[in-house]
Structure 1
């Protein structure tokens, strides 16, 4: 008779430890080793609250008496939930990013699986033709119904697929009433193959010599690991390279993962891919409901998803036969998670490709300095696209010196004149301003009082349309005061310019040219962003105003003028990456101009036209700028020529946060001395964060830096156990950020 087993279980709790439980005899399977990686429900905490965890080991003994161990309530899976390769990769990520494995595991699986739901499909609504030979003449005037019928003549399709292809419920119901089609419930088919049936639907454009070379370089190395950096100027046809690589991978019957930085980019990407390939394509991002996320994950795991297109979390999809990973806009900061499990999707994806022995392609017009340096050093295979296809020409760049000029909501007379000229030719104009709201500050005209957030070292942003003050750091809101809090004056004025104010001014200056504003404030509703993009491409709007959302990967063929209204703040930042980000932003925004056969123009307004960074970007472009900036980084021994980790601590009491990090520093120095590596590692701080107080808590930072990545990892691995035992650590909230990109 089977005996109870001791199981080590990892839970999604903020503790760097795992917990021992007893697995009752009636839950023990014949193969004990298959228990590792299976989910369980266990009691945890004083109230014996039930939690979902994962079995990570079967120790023969426990540090606790057997009779003190709690019993596992239920064993949820019949086999390990994840493939062995993904499970091992999550273990690596837990160690490298210094994050508890239980939380890493939970964040890597869909929400429903975290809640203990079974890893199975629900039955789905399918539609089929009643008779494929039916006379369709009666549908000749019902174009949508005829198109839907033609789709279903080829094969039965689930409702979600039909919806993605533009078939509405109304159309299906009409066809059903006419007895052309019927619906039924069925589990999704997972026994699919596309190796010899993959055909292109739309006509494939002729590749340029550079594009063809890039495609050949990757496709000749399928089933071998190599990291490729595709550095292509904006509008050079990187997506066409992706599509041709995918064609080769799909022809082998393999799956593909395409990762993009923003949810807003996934619909246009899937539309482009669906137009090219008649294979199952699925989306993976946070806007999907829980059931959709689970089913996408299952299709990838069981091999019935040919292509997964998703944002950062898509890299955790468990594939049956993954053949390639493509990471678009690889430089984008959104690939780095900034809280909890602080992984970088790009680095995780490279590690995964290496483990699976498959190629990975990183694409960008403005590569991150880390990726560019790896390519220049020969660690990555460097592919370049230096020309736009066809007759498209790079835009003309101009600087406007704002010194002494009268401005209208940040717009110079020269820029207004340029806008009039471009709009008169029935073209579109993009204005970029990375500042939401009506104005960044509300000020008393009498005494100079400023409306400052009570919980952060920041000012409230004034939102005129909703008539409230909003802190964009802690999300606190406050009604607009009727009078000054200090002197009682009612003469309160907004200071500075935000997108809301600029939109108001543009409507006054150009009443005959419709303006659309695109930022987080007015794209919160589902599909609102995509609806705006459709309206822009249809010509409904002539002036496009937006924040960084507009800079990423969108194709607007009628845009001929792009203007950056205000970027001077990035020129004098205390963040060493600020210049890199400005260079990327300028280049990406500029890339929206003149993408078709129309000539484009890019204008940058500044009070500092003589600044070296601006001169380099405007005159020589990102390629020359990035290589010059890399030389500066090397001299300063900053990343990518060194490796960093940031220990953060925050508390309601500033002294508590600072004191905890002082103890951490002492521990790190002692470890460095014991291992005789003090001269090879730099420990700086603790110092206050750039914004010392946020959401009512004081924030301090301790930086670890070394020219050797392995040294930083080993130091943290040794120190972590000491940090966990410090009583001072229980009085603060602390975290470790490996390879940080944000020091705010």
Structure 2
């Protein structure tokens, strides 16, 4: 008898032993159904051992080993074990998060999608039958006559699909037709654009790399970074290897998928993101695991897709905070991707116009190889000039200053497109009473309810709480409640009033929630069916609109005063990215930013398109203040019914921390910036160290002590390399 050591999704940092009569080490990596408490759940076999440390009579038997999919490879399990150790999460939780939802259950594995058509040929017996079939069997005779002319794919045969398949099965059973071995078309590559000199040098540098290396492909917006990595992917496929490309948002996948499919005819392209149907996502995961996929495109979860022939990993817009998971297993897909590439011995390309400061610092000290693209790729295209509209001089009226309104009118007259960027959806951020000072606060969060005028609702964008718009002030009864500030809905209303003949399209989470709707909106933009776009960060990066010549930033100053030390970096990245949507083809572009602080160094750097200069300023500030990338951080976070309870837990947890010789610094517990979400109060304790190794050693010991403790009515987790506070 063997014993299975199983990883299951429970908040305990250990494996669980089960009896299994026919277990062997060949079962490592397979899924298994096991009893746990009163439930039956699916886990993954991590090891098979001849004996257990527990008495045999206390061990329960595994119900059944699921053999309907190939076992997860040792390399894949090693990646999961790395994430478990580094991010201080139980292995079962990591594996559960890494698998598609369908594969976390005992439901049947989806059948493979047959992308290679069956080809049929006539046999000698079939040729004889063709000559003897009665004339009244016209359909049968026609099908055999077609095959007599030569082998044909199923779609080339005349009868309707259902009848065609029935006849083919009948002919095969009679020995008249045989199925030829299926031959997949070798992936091709369409070189649609001539590369610039800088692009050629970047492609050559990556292609010459035969082992692990991190390349930072740093190019200004419109410089053709995508074209570079498409050429490198072509070389990867030509060598019989697989490529993995990750983007930060689902909104970026439709355009990238269309480009990849058109440029790589014959290649098997697989998508992986959370909005996919469960069966389709699971099938793609399995096709990649079997080696049938050539290119995998996806969001951060794609970093866990098994690829036995991995030859290249690309992380596009690597600076985007969306690559960091903020719930459950709090991993950075960028960092896990780099680690995976290192273990596989393959190059990884980080692509960005505005790299994260950590990545830029690594390139500056030659840990990463910098590949610059300093000019826009389309002939004649230049970076758009950035002009600052001083809101102290040109006061915005309903959110739009006169110079911006005039610029929009000029584009409308020329038949060009305008993008107005406002990273706040809804009609207004808050509903308020001027008489008593009441504001529409969320009853479950320490934030405001946002006015959604179209639906006549107040909504919390953090917990989802919704309520009807109040007719009167709940505190004083005043009927004159007013929306304060503006979101994309209100800006859309203003533009409709100012430009009644313009075709205005709003793109935010409310209008583009479903993938099909999002693709439809992009088609309308590309076909010229929209004159003015009002959008959030959905439109800020990765899109190429040839007739867009004006970008207006309506409420830029909101990001200047955040308590998060990463806020200036993110704000510059976002504004530089959205500015890059203008003038990407032959038409000259322009960017107008409304601000009350035109002399701020961030805005002055934007005017110069000076990422490198502003990055130096921010890195100097980080060095002096003692922030990453010059040291390493983790945060112990707690959620409880009250802030006092959360703080009390953190103080008790600090007392359990292992002794440290000042190599690791623990700060005092403090409430989080957004203190309350969904009825739970949140607090954190920050940990810093100049040594990643010492920090990890400390966290491992501390985590073990915390798991061994008994803490009632509090939820806690450790966030390694936190990005939000």
Q: Determine if the TM-score, normalized by the shorter chain, exceeds 0.5.
A: yes
The residue that corresponds to 1:113 in the other structure is: 103
Once the two structures are superposed, residues 99-144 of structure 1 have per-residue CA deviations (whole angstroms, 9 ceiling, x without a partner) of 1101111222222211024556346598679999xxxxxxxxxxxx
The CA deviation at 1:80 is 6.5
Say if 2:216 is the partner of 1:229.
yes
d(CA) in 1 for partners of 2:549 and 2:338? 37
The residue that corresponds to 1:147 in the other structure is: none
d(CA) in 1 for partners of 2:566 and 2:151? 53
The CA deviation at 1:191 is 7.8
The residue that corresponds to 2:557 in the other structure is: 568
The residue that corresponds to 2:696 in the other structure is: 713
Say if 2:720 is the partner of 1:738.
yes
d(CA) in 1 for partners of 2:287 and 2:387? 49
Cα pair 1:227 1:380 within 8 Å, conserved: yes
d(CA) in 1 for partners of 2:194 and 2:514? 39
The residue that corresponds to 1:34 in the other structure is: 26
Cα pair 1:616 1:625 within 8 Å, conserved: yes
Change (3 A) 1:302 1:417: same
One of 339, 350, 360 as aligned partner of 2:327: 339
Cα pair 1:35 1:79 within 8 Å, conserved: no
The residue that corresponds to 1:593 in the other structure is: 582
Q: Provide the secondary structure at the position in 1 that maps to 2:226.
A: helix
Cα pair 1:211 1:385 within 8 Å, conserved: yes
One of 258, 279, 303 as aligned partner of 1:271: 258
**Structure 2 gaps, min length 5:** 123-149, 173-179
Cα pair 2:357 2:615 within 8 Å, conserved: yes
One of 691, 694, 702 as aligned partner of 2:685: 702
Change (3 A) 1:402 1:723: same
Q: For 1:311-330, list aligned pairs within 5 A.
A: 311-330=299-318
The residue that corresponds to 2:146 in the other structure is: none
Q: Which segment is superposed worse, 51-60 or 86-95?
A: 51-60
One of 670, 676, 700 as aligned partner of 1:687: 670
Q: Provide the secondary structure at the position in 1 that maps to 2:500.
A: coil
The residue that corresponds to 2:138 in the other structure is: none
The CA deviation at 1:77 is 2.8
Once the two structures are superposed, residues 422-468 of structure 1 have per-residue CA deviations (whole angstroms, 9 ceiling, x without a partner) of 22111100000011110001011322211111111111100000000
d(CA) in 2 for partners of 1:174 and 1:586? 56
The residue that corresponds to 2:200 in the other structure is: 212
Change (3 A) 1:287 1:620: closer
Change (3 A) 1:586 1:183: farther
d(CA) in 2 for partners of 1:593 and 1:731? 52
Cα pair 1:38 1:78 within 8 Å, conserved: no
d(CA) in 2 for partners of 1:190 and 1:342? 46
Q: Provide the secondary structure at the position in 2 that maps to 1:625.
A: helix
Once the two structures are superposed, residues 225-251 of structure 1 have per-residue CA deviations (whole angstroms, 9 ceiling, x without a partner) of 111010000000011101110111111
Q: Which segment is superposed worse, 579-588 or 718-727?
A: 718-727
Q: For 1:536-685, list aligned pairs within 5 A.
A: 536-668=525-657, 671-673=658-660, 677=661, 679-685=662-668
Once the two structures are superposed, residues 628-660 of structure 1 have per-residue CA deviations (whole angstroms, 9 ceiling, x without a partner) of 211221222211111111111011132221111
d(CA) in 1 for partners of 2:200 and 2:154? 35
Q: Which segment is superposed worse, 78-87 or 336-345?
A: 78-87
d(CA) in 2 for partners of 1:66 and 1:413? 80
TM-score, length-normalised on structure 2? 0.90
TM-score, length-normalised on structure 1? 0.88
Say if 2:428 is the partner of 1:435.
no
Change (3 A) 1:489 1:472: same
Once the two structures are superposed, residues 283-313 of structure 1 have per-residue CA deviations (whole angstroms, 9 ceiling, x without a partner) of 1112221221122112211111111111111
Q: For 1:223-622, list aligned pairs within 5 A.
A: 224-278=211-265, 279-389=267-377, 390-403=379-392, 405-622=394-611
Say if 2:11 is the partner of 1:19.
no
The total of aligned residue pairs comes to 688
d(CA) in 2 for partners of 1:619 and 1:120? 53
Once the two structures are superposed, residues 306-357 of structure 1 have per-residue CA deviations (whole angstroms, 9 ceiling, x without a partner) of 1111111111111121110111111111111100011111011101111011
Change (3 A) 1:375 1:406: closer
Change (3 A) 1:192 1:606: farther
Q: Which segment is superposed worse, 401-410 or 489-498?
A: 401-410
Q: Provide the secondary structure at the position in 2 that maps to 1:409.
A: coil
d(CA) in 2 for partners of 1:369 and 1:154? 59
One of 722, 730, 736 as aligned partner of 2:705: 722
Q: CA RMSD in A?
A: 2.7
The residue that corresponds to 1:66 in the other structure is: 56
